[in-house]
Amino acid sequence: MTFDLTFGILRTRLADIVTLTEAELEEGVRLTLRTTHNLAEGAAAGTIAAAWKQREALRGQRVVCVMSGGNLNLPALARITGGPA
């Protein structure tokens, strides 16, 4: 879901926008935890998930992903990782 005002402004200034499903965001949380050993909520892991989704187009380039946010509760973490709550 996007907010029309914000999204409208961003569309005029960004070269590309990558959209992600809930499943892709959850995979971003798992990928971030597995590869960087950092716990990130879905929104924070979105940059990693988007880069992973675009990995072929980004191959050979230097990529920076800003992760901001760790508001992930234990039940959500357990659901995403398949671990105990």
pLDDT in tens, 12-50: 998 888 999 999 999 999 999 999 988 888 888 999 999
Q: How many helices (H) and strands (E) does the chain have?
A: 5, 0
Please tell me the distance from the alpha carbon of residue 81 to that of residue 85, in angstroms, as a whole number: 10
Spans of all domains in the chain: 21-81
- The predicted structure's pLDDT at residue 1: 63
Identify whether the C-beta of residue 37 lies closer than 8 Å to the C-beta of residue 14: no
pTM (2 decimals)?
A: 0.78
Identify whether the C-beta of residue 24 lies closer than 8 Å to the C-beta of residue 49: yes
Residue 68 DSSP label: -
Using 50, 70 and 90 to split pLDDT, how confident is the model at 85? low
Average pLDDT, the chain: 89
